[in-house]
Amino acid sequence: MTVRPDDTGVPVRVDAVTFRGDSFRWPIYYGYRVGHAIGRRGVWIEAEFLHLKVIANQESLAPPVESFAITHGMNFILVNVVWAAPEHDRARVGWMVRAGLGPTLPHAESRVDGRWQEGYELGGAGIQLAPGIVVRVTRVLRMTGEYKFTFARPSVEVAGGHALAAVRTHHVAWGLAAAF
C-alpha cells in the first residue's frame, strides 16, 4: 500500500500489507447478477454487483498508517462475458467460466497519524475471473458454485491524503439462479 499525504506529497510505502475478509460478519459478503444468453452457443453477457470486504491486518501496517479497511464494500460493478457448457435435456451438471471488468466503488475507512477518514468513492477499475459449476434442480432453478479471483488497485482518500492498495481476493461463492 502506498500512502501519499496531502501536506508533504512524499509517498510512504507500507510493504507486505495483508488483508482478511470477515465475509460472514455484518455487512456480509453478497453478490447479484443478471444475464442474457447470446445465441445458442453457451455465451452470456451479464451485469454483476459484488460486495466484499478487505481489512488490513494490524500487524502488517506501519506508521503513519494505523488502520485501513474497506468494510462497507470493496464493491465491484462488473460487465461479464460467460462461456457455459451448452445445456442438454438430460445433463444435470454443467460448467461455466466468466470474466468481468468494471469500476469499483469502495467505502474506505482509515486512521493515519491519529486522524480518521471514511466514505464511498470511485476507486478505479476491477477485474474478475470465475470458473464454476451449475447443477440443474428443475427446468428453471439452478444451483451454482464457483471460485472467483478479483483484482483492483483502488485509489482512495485516507486521513490527510490518498492511498493506493493492490487488492487481490480469492472467493468461493455459491447460490441459486433462475433461467427463463
The residues, any chain, with a CB within 8 Å of residue 64's CB and separated by 6 or more, are 3, 5, 12, 112, 113
Architecture label for domain 2-178: Beta Barrel (2.40)
In tens, the pLDDT along 159-177 reads: 878 888 888 999 999 999 9
Domain positions in the chain are 2-178
The residues, any chain, with a CB within 8 Å of residue 43's CB and separated by 6 or more, are 37, 81, 82, 83, 84
Say whether 60 sits in a helix, a strand or coil.
helix
Grid cell locating 106: 469502495
In tens, the pLDDT along 125-172 reads: 999 999 999 999 998 999 999 999 999 999 898 887 888 888 899 999
pLDDT at site 88: 62
pLDDT at site 89: 61
The reported pTM is: 0.87
Sign of CA dihedral 36, 37, 39, 43: positive
The Cα 86–Cα 81 span in angstroms is 15
In tens, the pLDDT along 18-48 reads: 888 888 888 788 999 999 988 777 899 999 9
In tens, the pLDDT along 85-135 reads: 866 667 789 999 999 999 999 999 999 888 999 999 998 999 999 999 999
End-to-end CA distance of the chain: 44
